[in-house]
Structure 1
Amino acid sequence: MLDVLKNSWALLLGMLLLMLGNGLQGSLLGVRGPEAGFSAGMMSIVMSGYFAGFLIASRITPGMIRRVGHVRVFAALGSLVSAVLILFPAVVDPIAWTAGRVIIGFCFCGVYVTAESWLNDSATNETRGQALSAYMIVQMAGVIAAQGLLLVPDSSGFLLFVIPSVLVSVAFAPILLSISPTPAFETTKPMTLRELYHFSPLGVIGMFLLGGVFAAQFGMAAVYAAEIGLSLAQISGFIASFYVGALVLQYPLGWLSDRMDRRTLVCAGAAMGAAAAAVAMVFGEGFSVLLGAAFVIGGSANPLYSLLIAHTNDHLDASDMASASAGLLFVNGLGAIAGPLVIGWMMAMFGPPGFFVLILVLLSVMSVYALFRMTQRAPISVEDTGIYTALSPAATPIAVEVAQEYAIEVAEDLEDEASGD
């Protein structure tokens, strides 16, 4: 890990600052929107814009990088993010905010794609797994720390929008001043959804459902918290609990996934998250209950992202893993776009508890479907499964492809050791 920090400290520091800015802007809009009179339905459209932009950029950014290079794409998108963040308090309009969220989602995806390709280029076969772990920890830590910035006094109404703009601008300094050669950039053509579903029905269905859950916690949690009248300190703690749970439970669930049928773990993890959502629906008036529910939902749902990728890989040849990962992320992105829109409708129908209603439904369906799939296909022996690599749901296709490369390398090393014995 020391070698990773030595070679990639500037990139990781820059990513930490970027995640601070990104985590703050999402929560801040969720708080300021209801204060400005935006309904839950309006805010659901605003919040879904980020995921639409993110999905579009995942397809367009690789071409941009090949045409003009990493540095230009990185700097241009970062400048655009800073400008849009300043415009949010100046133009308080749902249409303008939706457009701004689309642009920010597009830009952040492009920035992540560029940074992740640099991270992969700086890592060796021996340090790639550690680099991915450090990257995931930095992403989660940045979002968690960002919630504390919500508590900064802002009598003008502009300061909290200036802070993420400054953080994003400063984030590029250590990265652009320290990284010398730009890596060659290649991406893999996605596998068709029909082919992907044939290999792993649970992977496809699970990733779509999980996209909705992730969008709920990243896009609509602040809206829900503001709707029920939580204070800024409570909103900060509530949102942070999702990501603290994800960070704490990621590796224990990963350890289990390498030692049992992964479908069983998907079923159990989704059921655990659904149960927490049900408790929050019934007893959500207590703030401590909300914190506990958010911790369990984040801790069970976020690791499912890596788990579903690992489960899908178990049914693929190594040569198909990269193309399958691109398809899985596309499905996840579709679910993320739909998630806030459906939650907005649910909150209009059932009031604020509709936030947890959708999470309950999505995770329950995933749990039941995983149980059904266990009756349709015999389990793969633990010895024949690939390794679990922890990833954040905010990862782009580049990070997932790097994880796939790492899994393949480890599998090949194990085969070489076995043949040597």
Structure 2
Amino acid sequence: MKQVLSSSSALLFGVLLLMVGNGLQGSLLGVRAGLEGFSTFHISIIMSGYFAGFLGGSRTTPWMIRRVGHVRVFAALASFISAALILFPVVTHPVAWTVLRVVLGFCFSGVYVTAESWLNNASTNEVRGKALSAYMVVQMVGIVVAQAILSQGDPSGWVLFIIPSVLVSVSFAPILLSVTPTPPFETSKPMTLKRLYKVSPLGCVGMFFMGGVFAAQMGMAAVYATQAGFTLGQISTFIAVIYIGAVMLQLPIGWISDRMDRRVVILVVAFVGATSALAGVVFGSSLTVVLIAAFMTGGMANPLYSLLIAHTNDYLDPDDMAASSGGLIFINGIGAVGGPVVAGYLMGMMGPNGYWVLQAVLMFLVAGYAAYRTTRRAAIPIEETSHYVTVLPSTSPVASEVAQEVAIELAEADDPSTGGETGSITPSV
């Protein structure tokens, strides 16, 4: 890990600042939109804009990088992010905010693609798994720190919009002034969705449903907490707990999934997440129960993303794993675009509980489909399955492909014919 930090410390620090800025704006907008009197439906459209932009950015940025290079793409997109963040309090209209959220989603996606390319280039095969883990941890820490900043500010003023703009602007320096050379940019040709579905129906269906869950958690959590009458400090704590759960439960779930039928793990994890969301509905008047429900839904939903990728890899040759990541991310992105809109509709119909109802329904659907798939084909022997590697839904296709490379390296390390030894590469920390 020391080697990772010494070679990529500037990049990781820059990403930390980016994530604090991104996490702060996402939560702040949910609170500020309520103060501005926007309807729940309008807020849901605004929040959905980010995921639409993110999906478009992940498809467009590779072309931009090949055309003008990493440095120019990173600087240009980060500049747009900084400017957009300042404009939110200037033009307080749902249409303007939706456009700005689309811009933010597009630009953050492009920035992540660029940063992750640099991180991958700076990592050797021996430490790539640890570098990916450090990147994931930095992302989560940034989002949690953002909630602490939100709790100390005034969402009705300007300062909380200026802070993320400054943080994003400052993040340029450690990344662009780093001595790390600009990497060559290559991405795998995506696998067709038809072939991907044929290989892993559960992976595709699960990714679509989970896209809606992630979007609700990332886009509508602050809206829910505001409607539920939480104080600003309680809103910040509620959002932070979601991501803390995501970090703390990744490793135990991943360890279990490498030792039994992964479809059963997906079924159980999705079922636990769904019942936790139902607890938020039934006991929504208790802040303690709501925080536990947030911890558990976040702690179940994020590992499910990695579980579905690992399950899909179980049915792929190593040469096809990287190609599958683009298709899975696209499917997840389509689900994410609609997630806030459906959540907003349900919250408009039944109040704050609609936030929990959407997550419960979607995760019950994942659990039910996983149960169905266990009846359609036999389980793969444990020794022939791929490895679980942590991937977050907030990452770009580059990080997903890096995770696939780590999974392949782990498989090769376990293969006696290659002379490797089990566990020679650490997928997470």
With the length of structure 1 as denominator, give the TM-score of the two structures.
0.98
1:403 to 2:403 alignment: yes
Gaps of 5+ in 1: none
The sequence identity of aligned pairs, in percent, is: 62
Q: Is 1:366 paired with 2:366?
A: yes
Trace 1:5-404 onto structure 2 (pairs within 5 A). 5-154=5-154, 157-404=157-404
Preserved CA contact (<8 Å) 2:31 2:155: no
SS of corresponding position for 1:387:
coil
Q: Per-residue displacement from partner, 1:84-112 (whole Å, max 9, x unpaired)? A: 00000010000000000000000000000
TM value normalised by structure 2: 0.96
- Secondary structure of the 1:89 match is coil
Which range is displaced more, 384-393 or 82-91?
A: 384-393
In structure 1, give the amino acid aligned to 2:5.
L
Name the SS for the 1:236 alignment partner. helix
Q: How many residues align?
A: 421
Distance across 1 between alignment mates of 2:90 and 2:219: 21
CA distance in 2, matches of 1:86, 1:271: 41
Compared CA separation, residues 205 and 179, structure 1 to 2 (3 A): farther
* CA-CA distance at 1:356 after TM superposition: 0.6
Check the 8 A contact 1:262/1:307 in 2, yes or no: yes
The residue type paired with residue 241 of structure 2 is S
**Alignment-mate amino acid for residue 294 of structure 1:** A
Give the 3 Å change call, closer, same or farther, for CA 420–360 of structure 1 in structure 2: closer
* 1:72-92 Cα distance to aligned partner (Å, 9 max, x none): 000000010000000000100
Report the secondary structure of 1:150's partner residue. helix
TM-aligned CA deviation for residue 319 of structure 1: 1.4
After superposition, the Cα gap between the structure-2 partners of 1:113 and 1:152, relative to the gap in structure 1 and judged at 3 Å, is same
Contact 2:32–2:155, Cα closer than 8 Å, also in 1? no
Q: Aligned partner of 1:195: which letter?
A: R
For structure 2, list consecutive stretches of 5 or more residues without a partner in the other structure.
422-429
Conserved 8 A contact 1:152-1:160: no
Greater alpha carbon shift after TM alignment, 18-27 vs 151-160: 151-160
Q: Deviations over 1:142-162 (max 9, x none)?
A: 111110111233387000000
Check conservation: 2:74, 2:111, Cα contact below 8 A: yes
* Paired amino acid for 2:34: P
Deviation track 1:199-258 (CA, whole Å, cap 9, x = no partner) reads 000000000011000000100000011111110000000001110000000111111111
Whether the 8 Å CA contact 2:122–2:180 is kept in 1: the answer is no
Amino acid in structure 1 at the alignment position of 2:99? A
What is the alpha-carbon distance in structure 2 between the residues aligned to residue 241 and residue 269 of structure 1?
18
Whether contact under 8 Å (2:28, 2:155) holds in the other structure is no
- The residue aligned with 2:425 is none
Instruction: Report the alpha carbon displacement of residue 26 of structure 1 after superposing the two structures with TM.
Output: 0.3
Query: What is the distance in 2 between the residues matched to 1:160 and 1:359?
Result: 29
* Structure 1 residue 180: Cα displacement: 3.6
SS at match of 1:90: coil
Instruction: Report how far residue 348 of structure 1 moved.
Output: 1.2
**RMSD value over aligned CA atoms?**
1.2
Query: Structure 2: how far apart are the matches of 1:405 and 1:351?
Result: 44
Q: In structure 1, how many angstroms separate the alpha carbons of the residues matched to 2:236 and 2:341?
A: 23
**Displacement of 1:172:** 1.2
* Cα distance in structure 2, aligned partners of 1:234 and 1:21: 20
1:82–1:166 CA contact under 8 A, matched in 2: yes
Of 186-195 and 322-331, deviating more is 186-195
2:416, 2:118 → 1: CA distance?
Answer: 29
The amino acid across from 2:271 in the alignment is: A
Separation in structure 2 between the aligned mates of residue 218 and residue 225 of structure 1, nearest angstrom: 12
Q: In 2, distance between residues paired with 1:110 and 1:264? A: 35
Q: Report SS of the residue matched to 1:172.
A: helix
Q: Distance in 1 between matches of 2:46 and 2:313?
A: 34
